[in-house]
Amino acid sequence: MSNSASDTCSNHGFAQRSTLYQEFLAEREEILRHKWIESEKQGKDIGFERALLDWIRKHRQNWRGARNIKLGK
């Protein structure tokens, strides 16, 4: 198993081009936005896990549907 710097750079480039990785980053950005909004409403940091679960329950399905339409899927 190779552990060279060139393998690491190659894997990083692949991840950056990966559709799955891009979807992960977009979803993570929405969760962080939700975390910020809900934390502001409550006047304290609600934490990532709580924001994640709340976003999944309340927003994920609609967000994915809108994103699929936007991306032409």
Q: pLDDT tens, 21-64?
A: 999 999 999 999 999 999 999 999 999 999 999 999 999 999 99
Over range 6-14, report the average pLDDT. 63
Spatial distance between the Cα atoms of 30 and 60, rounded to a whole number of angstroms: 9
Q: How many residues does the chain have?
A: 73
Residue 10 has pLDDT above 80, yes or no: no
Tokens in use for 72?
Answer: 């032409």
Position 72 scores a pLDDT of 80
Residue 5 has pLDDT above 70, yes or no: no
Position 11 scores a pLDDT of 67
Spatial distance between the Cα atoms of 40 and 36, rounded to a whole number of angstroms: 6
Position 17 scores a pLDDT of 82
